[in-house]
Amino acid sequence: MKFELIFVPYPVIGHLRSTVEMAKLLVERETRLSISVIILPLLSVDDISTSAYISALVAASNDRLHYEVISCEDQTTTELHVENHIPRVKRAVAKLVDGYSRLPDLPRLAGLVVDMFCTSVIDVANEFGVPCYLFYTSNVGVLALGLHVQMLYDKKEYNEYNATETDFEDSEALLDVPSLSRPYPVKCLPYGLGTKEWLPMFVNQARRFREMKGFLVNTFAELEPYALESLLSSGDTPRAYTVGPILHLENHVGSSKEEKSSEILRWLDEQPPRSVVFLCFGSIGGFREEQARESDIALERSGHRFLWSLRRASPVIEKELPGEFKNLEEILPEGFFDRTKDIGKVIGWAPQVAVLAKPAIGGFVTHGGWNSILESLWFGVPMAPWPLYAEQKFNAFMMVEELGLAVRIRKSWRGDQLVGAATVLVTAEEIERGIRCLMEQDSDVRKRVMEMSEKCHVALSDGGSSQSALKLFIQDVTKNVV
């Protein structure tokens, strides 16, 4: 019997790429399976490179892995983007199902697999009478945190932690989170779980998570054993399949960026092994002039070689991505480039995966997005998280305090660039101290990261934990085919 899954990713590049790589893994693993990926209209914060990526996907469509792009000129808000396109998703699913009936071998629709921010698509799965599975692009720990907060909220026990007040980032209260072995500071909550404006949306999202048939999670069992055990033993949540790390490791940078990429990589080839600290903050991470100055003072004082992907913070992230500073010499310390020309490079865009793969990289200062964390672990590069938005404050706590796989720059962070909440100024002293700790050659953190890197690779090999979880997921999907 042949069967089909329909994926609905959230239309931003980080989620889309992870979904595509997940789909590729599944069709490679199971020859009876085909997958259609429904791609919603891009959110306005994404750039033209994402459009080019989607065009390449569509061109590569085949009978086993097909991409269905929903085009729409309507402008919608970020919060309602998915909900407003549900009718179009429903029509796309109906079209696909109708197409199955015309094929000689009649593949069966086995279910929908939806992104963590596309939970309203459960209603479409219900209309077609098929199971709905969650593809969670972050880690088990933060998934369990969201479910725990939802449980406390519904029991009216969450406010006692002052977690929904405007000053939650100043709170000294601690949460006992089942997925963590130590108390979790309320001040480290992701912004969406600590503010009255966003909390109802995330609580409702977690409620809908519980309606799923199962969770595909982009992590691996050896990285989060405590969190995974807590989720599996709770008894009131769907089964979790840890199938990661799901990484996009191809270095297709596009013709407009090839020259810049080659120059950066050639420079890295000339540097000694593990001598360069790499600073990069994702597609929507940027800094104000004052923060850029503090960072460069720290880099110079540290004495380490550096590659600094520095971009200007966007005034309104929904309308404009971070961009290049027009004149860096005007905002950085006087004479900075002359004094550091032999040991460092300040760049704009960076080919992150290709950079992390270079032997010269000895440490990674990162915003702590989950894809970046997994890439760093894959290449055995220790990290210093500098969270800027979304769940990154939780990721930083988990990597530094819970798992000991990263070094601390500072203990707590404020604000969220994604929703326009002002972030804290990190001083040159804090950054320098973090870099020096990060670049220690024989540190315990570096040793643990190298050990975890090996486990990361083994998880995806034949018989590894993630391969086994993928096999189990496929078995369960086939059992649930109506």
The CATH homologous superfamily to which domain 256-456 belongs is: Glycogen Phosphorylase B; (3.40.50.2000)
Tens of each residue's pLDDT in the chain, 482 residues: 889 999 999 998 889 999 999 999 999 999 999 999 999 988 755 556 788 889 999 999 998 999 999 987 565 666 678 888 899 999 999 998 887 777 667 778 999 999 999 999 999 999 999 999 999 999 999 999 999 999 999 999 987 677 776 678 888 899 999 999 999 999 999 999 998 889 999 999 999 999 999 999 999 999 999 999 999 888 889 999 999 999 988 755 555 577 788 999 999 999 999 999 999 998 889 999 999 999 999 999 999 999 999 999 887 777 777 888 888 888 888 999 999 999 999 999 899 999 999 999 999 999 999 999 999 999 999 999 999 999 999 999 999 999 999 999 998 899 999 888 888 899 999 999 999 999 999 999 999 999 999 999 999 999 999 999 999 999 999 988 75
- Report the greatest alpha carbon distance in the chain: 72
Region for residue 150 given its phi and psi (left: phi exceeds 0; alpha: psi -120 to 50; beta: otherwise): alpha
Model pLDDT for residues 165-204, shown as the tens digit of each residue: 667 888 889 999 999 999 999 999 999 999 888 999 999 9
The domain spans of the chain are 3-137+212-244+460-479, 256-456
Tell me the helices (H) and strands (E) count for the chain, helix number first: 18, 14
Confirm if 330 and 367 have CB atoms less than 8 A apart.
no
CATH of domain 3-137+212-244+460-479: 3.40.50.2000
Long-range contacts of 57-65 (CB under 8 A, 24+ apart): 57/20, 63/34, 64/27, 64/33, 64/34, 64/35, 65/23, 65/24, 65/27, 65/34, 65/35, 65/37
Beta strand 132-136 with 33-39: parallel, antiparallel or unpaired?
unpaired
Distance between CA atoms of residues 174 and 112, nearest Å: 37
Helix (H) or strand (E) segment spanning residue 419:
none
- 20, HSE (Cβ side, Cα atoms, 13 Å): 21
| 3-137+212-244+460-479 and 256-456 agree in CATH topology | yes
